[in-house]
Amino acid sequence: MGHTSLDKIKALQKNPANVRNLCILAHVDHGKTTLADSLVASNGIISSRLAGKLRYLDSREDEQIRGITMKSSAISLHYAAGEKDYLINLIDSPGHVDFSSEVSTAVNAVTGSLFTSKVLEDRAVKEERAEEDKEEGDVKPAECLGSEQYPAVCPDPQQEDGHQD
């Protein structure tokens, strides 16, 4: 997509009909932060070569040292779908069960979620809990599948997003 300016983000904020609030849900090590890095890179904020390695939204020192997300982090991103521009307020939530309150808070703040899972592994307890959280709230899920061998595959955000244009 290229570089997105702060002015573009500010302009998009003025049109609530084109704002989407999403969180990323999954078990620990199932690609949430890698997906977030890839989306951040799509806006030119970081290099696409660093996506998955930089852990851009893991800004706390203890998160960087441990290599896990411990606190939810948010970022506003530009997404263009054809002639239409959207502002995506994205929350990268923790995956470890010890931080489930962070996940619940993220789910309550959004209207949609990206649910990542490794294709070849069984679903973990945390993923089942994330599914329950989605069902309890008014959250529209979209599942993204990925593994070490294959990049994440996600649905088109324009389809089934729960919003009328």
Write phi, then psi, for 83 (nearest 5 degrees).
Answer: -90, -5
- pLDDT of residue 142 exceeding 80: no
Inter-axis angle of helices 125-136 and 100-108, nearest 10:
30
Say which amino acid occupies 97. V
Q: Are 133 and 104 in contact (CB under 8 A)?
A: yes
Cβ of 45: how many Cβ atoms within 10 Å? 15
Assigned token pair, 162: 């729960």
> And the tokens for 84?
């239409």
The string of pLDDT tens digits covering residues 77-94 is 999 988 999 999 998 887
pLDDT at residue 138 is higher than 70:
no
Please state, in angstroms and rounded to a whole number, the distance separating the CA atoms of residues 120 and 146. 9
User: Would the pLDDT of 141 be above 90?
Assistant: no
For residue 164, pLDDT over 80 is answered with: no
Mind listing the pLDDT tens digit for each residue in 4-57?
888 989 999 999 999 999 888 877 777 788 888 889 999 999 898 888 788 888
Question: pLDDT, tens digit, for every residue of 125-136?
Answer: 545 655 665 565
Rounded to an integer, what distance in angstroms lies between the CA atom of residue 17 and that of residue 86? 9
Which among 66, 70, 67, 125 is positioned nearest to 103, based on CA atoms? 70
CB under 8 Å to 151, separation ≥6 — which residues?
none
The answer to whether the beta carbons of residues 26 and 125 sit under 8 Å apart is no
Domain residue extents for the chain:
6-146
6-146: CATH topology: Rossmann fold (3.40.50)
- pTM as predicted: 0.67
Say whether pLDDT at 74 is over 60.
yes
Calpha distance 8→57 (Å, rounded):
21
Question: What's the mean pLDDT when you consider all of the chain?
Answer: 74
User: Residue 59 corresponds to which tokens in the numbers above?
Assistant: 């800004």
Query: CA of 4: how far to CAs of 11, 12, 41, 86, 140, in Å?
Result: 12, 11, 10, 12, 26
